[in-house]
Amino acid sequence: MNLLKIYQKLLKRFGTQNWWPMQRDFSPPEWEICVGAVLTQNTNWGNVELALKNMKEKGLISRDCIKKVSEKKLAEVIRPAGYYNQKAKKLKILASFSGNLTRESLLSLWGLGPETVDSILLYAYGKPYFVVDAYTKRIFTRLGFGNRKSYDEWRKFFESNLPRSVSLYKEFHALIVKLGKENCRKKPVCRGCPLRRECKKSGI
């Protein structure tokens, strides 16, 4: 089964996911996505929501605000997201970034790995980079697409086997996360999985 057919099965089963609805008046709006991409490292989205709510309540909704606030105060505001001291430092660095918006330039910033950078580029700026996370690796290894070693090997696999479409990349990634949470967990829940017939590990 090819990737597009997998995408279509997931879309039919789960529907559109409408990820990253920007509702907190961040300025510019895409800055909310940049912040969220950093905050979501090593935590769940519920914790990120609490941190973003705190940021809005404290008026920390723009790059300039982040640059001006002390790192210590910012860390306290984003505490619900965990690793708050490190994440405050990362946000300060990202807010001060003024170079060309390329994958290479963002990856050169301290604390920004490929998954975070690709999330920023895809969801905030509409750049066609496929986001790979732990769900993606788990699901597609179980489906028999090989156990690629590096992040970029997985990213290039998706990008070379899908149409170059920002909207498709966004929706497919969101659907993968949905499947990972609903069915393809570390201990899989195969009952009701839309890809059960295709899965090499079904029933484990």
pLDDT given for residue 21 in this prediction: 61
Torsion angles phi and psi, residue 187, rounded to 5? -105, 100
Total structural domains within the chain? 2
Residue 36 domain-assigned? yes
Residue 195 domain-assigned? no
Q: Are residues 14 and 62 in the same domain?
A: no
Residue 12 domain-assigned? yes
Q: How far is CA 93 from CA 12, 13, 71, 96, 185, in A?
A: 40, 40, 10, 5, 34
Which of 95, 124, 153 represents a domain boundary (last residue)?
A: 124
Checking if the pLDDT of 64 tops 60, the result is yes
Q: Are residues 38 and 115 in the same domain?
A: yes
* Verdict on whether the full-model pTM lies above 0.85: yes
Domain span at residue 88?
30-124
Q: How many CB atoms lie within 10 A of CB 52?
A: 24
83-124 pLDDT per residue, tens:
999 999 999 999 999 989 999 999 999 999 999 999 999 999
Residue 60 domain-assigned? yes
Residue 199 domain-assigned? no
Q: Are residues 63 and 87 in the same domain?
A: yes
Q: Are residues 40 and 109 in the same domain?
A: yes
Checking if the pLDDT of 202 tops 90, the result is no
Q: Are residues 53 and 74 in the same domain?
A: yes
Place of tokens 């935590």: 43
pLDDT given for residue 190 in this prediction: 92
Residue 133 domain-assigned? yes
Q: Are residues 135 and 156 in the same domain?
A: yes
Checking if the pLDDT of 25 tops 90, the result is no
Residue 193 domain-assigned? no
Q: Are residues 134 and 118 in the same domain?
A: no
130-189 pLDDT per residue, tens:
999 999 999 999 999 987 889 999 999 999 999 999 999 999 999 999 999 999 999 999
**81 close to 47: Cβ distance less than 8 angstroms:** yes
Strand partners, 62: 27
Residue 95 domain-assigned? yes
Q: Are residues 80 and 94 in the same domain?
A: yes
- For residue 103, what is the domain's CATH number? 1.10.340.30
